[in-house]
Amino acid sequence: MKTLMVFDFDHTVVDDNSDTWVIRCLPSQSLPDSVKKSYRKGYWTEFMGRVMKYIGEQQVSPDSVRSVMEAIPFTAGMTDLLTFISEHKSSIDCIIISDSNTMFIDWILQASGFQAAVDQVFTNPAKFNELGYMEVQCYHSHDCRQCPVNLCKRKVLELYLSEQSGRGVQYEQVFYAGDGGNDLCPTSCLRGHDVVMPREGYTLEKLLAKMEGEEDDCSLRARVIAWSSGTDILKELKASIQL
């Protein structure tokens, strides 16, 4: 029986939003209002497509985008946590479910040497087209009304757990670490002995506190343990595998 560690990425593994960090590759380090004002609530991935098209139109090379992304800071204590996970792969599986994109996350993990810690990344597919512009696609379609149109993290987690079960892999405990509103939905598929870990002071912690205050709401079964650094998560993870 293994332990599963599930991470969000932005403001969890890294201490910023990778989608807004990328703006630093522009000479002005800002977007024009025509792009900024084109965002529609729930359609962030579609918006990022326009952002990356604008970046390409400014003649910013893929290598320049990559070098900027590789400089994004990790959240405090997260490198120690990922090192521990990479050293205990016989006991811990680790996945990332993120509303970022494949290129940003792959670049950041490769530059830091942490690909070995992460078994799978579930995020929006991205690639550079023939013009040298990055194109970002929606991860999947779903019918969840709580989540952004491009990604329901609960659906991803449920499918992963089902597929692992089909391979004979059962998890003694699942830890879910995140920060945002889109991290609430997947907590509903966690069991009573699983742990949801919201980042202190962020949206997920506030939403979970509100849920816990509603006595008739039984959709949250997992224990809630807030974290402020990767060290807090590492402490709980070590305890779960009795190290």
Residues that are catalytic: 8, 10
Instruction: Give strand pairing partners of 94.
Output: 5
User: Whose CA is closest to 223, among 206, 236, 214, 232?
Assistant: 236
Measured CA angle at 192 (ends 239, 6), to 5 deg: 60
- 92 close to 238: Cβ distance less than 8 angstroms: no
CB 57 within 8 A of CB 133: yes
Angstrom distance (rounded) from CA 220 to CA 215:
11
**130 φ, ψ (degrees, to nearest 5):** -65, -20
- Phi, psi angles (nearest 5°) of residue 6: -115, 125
Q: Which residues contact 28 (CB under 8 A, 6 or more apart)?
A: none
